[in-house]
Amino acid sequence: MAGKELYVSAPGKVILHGEHAVVHGKVALAVGLNLRTFLRLKPSRDKNTMKINLPNIGAKLSWNISDLQTLVPSFQECEPVSPSPEQLDILKTFAGVSSGTKDTESLAILAFLYLYLSICGQLRRLPSLEIVVWSQLPTGAGLGSSAAYSVSLVAALLTASEKISYPAQDNIETARWTQNELTLVNGWAFQGEKVIHGNPSGVDNAVGTWGGALRYQAGQITPIERVPMLQILLTNTRVPRSTKTLVAGVKDKLLKYPNIMEPVLSSINAISEECQRVLQAAVDGLSKEHYSVLEELIDINQHHLNVIGVGHPSLDRLCQVTASHGLHSKLTGAGGGGCAITLLQPDIQPTVVDAAKQQLSDCGYQCWETSIGAPGVSLQSSSSLPEEVTRSLNTA
């Protein structure tokens, strides 16, 4: 068991284009969101205790290693495999979680226990660790917060248990694992997502692992090479929505009006394809013309998403506000409220962005100025962490 302190981070995720159409076999583009989840892992001073602290959701737990050790015979997987109902029942009983629970804290703890026991269970003795996970991502907003949690946990546990290497940082701020090692991280993180979500697509954990941009179609996930980072304004309308209800509504419309809806979904597919072409063509960076195309695609797609019934007055208001400042926005994710992205060109005046942010805040929305196309899971030096992150990890 490696005795080093580790700092790991993983990005969130947004859908750039293709939401809802992807359910019907069309292309979706998912991109790494540079709002990240950060994890600190260090050996515990108490050799008989495993501790985890999740300050974002107010969870702080510890277990006796000898009690955890009794569970190990049920978690002896060498490779990532789906959690069985029997394993989940064992963990729920151990953690005192009732069956059918949906609350964030319980699901996060179950995912941790599954990953910890599965990854570390083959060691001679379970390691005594202190883990703190703090995130810039809001939970339940469709931004991949649970996947970023699973990915960062897996990367840290695999590294600490020496199942993947400790990347040499050589005085650089961040380092990444090899492609084969990242494939293992992604495989285990997908299992953590299954504990939390039951039947996830695998897109969120793939973005958290590899970052950049991914193409998703009919269950196939393909990384897109050489995608430039794009500056955006991410806005959370704070309007809750049910993804299941919205997906069902689009399906009902497609069955009722197939000759109307299918062309719209095909057009959304074409938008994803054109966006991918533009991003990959910009080898030397995006030109003004590239940005103009990306802005037009955003506007067209937002209109399509309203047509298929996943818009919302809060999103209409958001688009009106940003348009009044010459900016272009679309919903991201399920719609019906939730979040939207606004593309920011590199030469935009800060005063324009500040004015838009202020007006959106006045609407009761939450805004972040950030980027998409962010790098995937990374090992970080403590000195590279933002002050807010260092403070949150060390005072939790």
Active-site residues, by number, are: 146, 204
CA–CA separation, 147 and 193 (whole Å): 6
C-beta separation of 133 from 38 below 8 A: yes
C-beta separation of 202 from 221 below 8 A: yes
Write the DSSP assignment of 159-210 as a string of letters.
Answer: HHTTSS-----TT-SEE---HHHHHHHHHHHHHHHHHHHSS--SHHHHHHHH
E strands within 44-98? 49-54, 59-64
CA–CA separation, 396 and 393 (whole Å): 6
CA–CA separation, 286 and 294 (whole Å): 10
CA–CA separation, 295 and 216 (whole Å): 22
Which pair of structure tokens corresponds to residue 383?
Answer: 């000195």
CA–CA separation, 165 and 267 (whole Å): 44
Question: How many separate helices (H) and strands (E) can be counted in the chain?
Answer: 12, 13
Which pair of structure tokens corresponds to residue 375?
Answer: 């790098």
Which pair of structure tokens corresponds to residue 96?
Answer: 């005192």
User: For residue 214, which of 28, 33, 339 has the smallest C-alpha distance?
Assistant: 28
C-beta separation of 229 from 374 below 8 A: yes
First-to-last alpha carbon distance for the chain, in angstroms, is 25
CA–CA separation, 180 and 268 (whole Å): 33
CA–CA separation, 27 and 19 (whole Å): 9
